[in-house]
Structure 1
Amino acid sequence: MRLQRPCLSEQEKTEISMFSSWLLAIGDGLIGTLDLHDPQDTRNIQISPQYIIPFHETALTDLIQFIYDDDTLHNPSASTVSTKAIICPKNETTDEINTHVLNMAPGTSVTYHSKDTVIPHTGNNEDTDLLYPVEYLNMLNFKGMPPHKLELKVNTPVILLRNLNPTQGLCNGTRLIVTQLLPAIVEVQIMTGTSIGHRVYIPRINLTHTDQELPFSLKRKQFPLKIRYARTINKSQGQSLNKIGVYLPQPVFSHGQLYVALSRSTNPSTLKLLIVPNDHNKDNETKNVVYKDFIREINSQ
């Protein structure tokens, strides 16, 4: 397990053992009270106060400062930024956090606007400009696409959204840190993969998104980058982080999400949760969704 490390004191070993057992119980859905609306798969669990940032008006800022302290924001490096993250259930929430952290980071931001056009599915271009004005296209955001308004600062961590040059380590999902912002290109340093430390240039490219619910495909010319201070729980799977914040403005909604979020931590002392309370839970309570029938089926094989 990623929690076990050499040179631990007996107290640390005990704390880690208890934390590991707690994580496994969450993963198996063994703790908490049954949710009356879904008693088969969902339980309400209480989180120990040591992992909780109490909810208040500026609690999100407190969570951000726990993960991205002043030293990290003012003197970032690939080794420090790549091992920290705030994770949450939905993409919309990650966008909110990314904007919040960017505003807290020092430096002057540079904004790059995309050029958006449509490709009608029918091949008929008549009245396209009238039906789908540019202002409407600029508002569209899709998974795997950069935003129309891409705001960046030097030292901002970003993720690459397309395969540009795999031989140079520029693959979809590669994490980068911005080193220079120029009018036509963005210089970045690679933080993950086989080319860590290399500086490369990212150009604007044409990206196309096709959605069967829309009568057109969106063609967007933009830098294939997205800010990566925060990420979704699903995107964090398989990663080990030295400092992690879990932001839950709403409960998890899928099997095993809470376990995945909590188990990214390599040390229980570097984990914090911010839970937004509602009519059904306090700021130290949240839902855990576990499909026990699925687990039993896997264990029986």
Structure 2
Amino acid sequence: MTQRFDFEALDKTLRDILGTKDDANRLKLFGGMPILLGGDFRQILLVIPKGKQQEVIHACINRSDLWQHCQLHTLSCIMQVNEYNYDDEHDTQKHSFNKWVLDVGEGKVQARCKDGEDEPTWIKIPNDYIVRSEKSPIETIVDTIFPDYTVRQEDEEHLRERAILTPQNDDIEQINKHMFKKLHGATMTFKSSDEICKGSTDNIEQHHAYPVEFLNKLNFPGVPPHKLKLKIGQPIMLLRNLSPSAGMCNETRLIITDFQKFVLQARIITGSHVGKMPRSTIRSPFKGH
């Protein structure tokens, strides 16, 4: 997602810096320093404001002279969709879906224009990959991905193998509310802090400009809402790398096991630390009620 001009500037900068010790480094790529780049052109490209397809492609690093010196390693396995069943037998339907997703990313699926657009950006999804909704769309997708959720909500293997992805936070909130009602147990409500920073020099003016009611309505991506409702046994996901050695990495899924004052206790259900309780105490920035 980084423009090629940034990499070219980094190349020139490292040549100048490392060339002060050895003039031969001025002739080497990135001054002779190994550079590792991570990303996938099939997922997310860089953003060119109001730019067309050719402008976006022209700004990618594979259009730079540096690209011919790169050694490319490709990924061909979609980890989100396991192609094997519980009995380790190959699932042809999952394999077909994975192949279709890769074909979409590589541009092998024919696209078409819509509503007078200049560039073909729309593709047709096969009927086999579409869930038909005869009732509420949210209830349909939940029942399809998590069948018998009310009965199997304590089955960690059942929860570990499934997930619902949505492009918008509003959809996530509606799905979470729907599944939250199906969970057993009492509800614990955590409220966020609703005060202006005491260290601000304009604290008095800001206090009147940003009342508590306004602060409680703020909702940012990646940040919990003002009122966060949780239950024991509820699956949660970690969004920060807190302690990789203890399995506390980004996107690690856990099950809430207990509530304490400003502290959530949970058990890891994914990764190489399945079943372990994180040793590090994680305090919640919320007030429990």
- Residues 184-206 of structure 1 show CA distances to partners (whole Å, capped at 9, x for unaligned) of 3221001234432112475434x
- Residues 242-296 of structure 1 show CA distances to partners (whole Å, capped at 9, x for unaligned) of xxxxxxxxxxxxxxxxxxxxxxxxxxxxxxxxxxxxxxxxxxxxxxxxxxxxxxx
Q: Is the 8 A contact 2:150 2:182 kept in 1?
A: no
Amino acid at match of 2:114: D
Amino acid at match of 1:38: E
Partner of 1:152: 230
- Unmatched segments (≥5 aa) in structure 1: 206-220, 224-301
Q: Secondary structure at the match of 2:174?
A: helix
If the length of structure 1 is used for normalisation, what is the TM-score? Answer: 0.57
Q: Is the 8 A contact 2:233 2:257 kept in 1?
A: yes
Q: How far off is 1:71 after superposition? A: 4.8
The answer as to 2:194 corresponding to 1:110 is no
Task: Choose the corresponding residue for 1:59, options 103, 128, 137.
Answer: 137
Partner of 1:31: 110
Q: How far off is 1:166 after superposition? A: 4.1
Higher-Rg structure is 2
Distance 1:189 1:37, change over 3 A: farther
The answer as to 2:124 corresponding to 1:45 is yes
If the length of structure 2 is used for normalisation, what is the TM-score? Answer: 0.59
Task: Choose the corresponding residue for 2:246, options 143, 168, 187.
Answer: 168
Amino acid at match of 1:90: Q
Distance 1:44 1:116, change over 3 A: same
Q: Is the 8 A contact 1:72 1:81 kept in 2?
A: no
Which protein is richer in helix relative to its size?
2
Which protein is richer in strand relative to its size?
1
Q: Is the 8 A contact 2:232 2:257 kept in 1?
A: yes
Q: Is the 8 A contact 1:175 1:191 kept in 2?
A: yes
Q: Secondary structure at the match of 2:216?
A: helix
Partner of 1:93: 171
What value does the CA root-mean-square deviation take over the aligned residues? 3.1
Whole-angstrom distance in 1 between the partners of 2:101 and 2:238:
31
Distance 1:73 1:189, change over 3 A: farther
Partner of 1:222: 286
- Unmatched segments (≥5 aa) in structure 2: 1-76
Whole-angstrom distance in 2 between the partners of 1:167 and 1:160:
15
Whole-angstrom distance in 2 between the partners of 1:17 and 1:161:
29
Q: How far off is 1:104 after superposition? A: 2.1
Q: Is the 8 A contact 1:73 1:105 kept in 2?
A: no
- Residues 112-171 of structure 1 show CA distances to partners (whole Å, capped at 9, x for unaligned) of 112222339973212222111122111112222222211111221112234444443334
Same amino acid, percent of matched pairs: 29
Partner of 2:160: 82
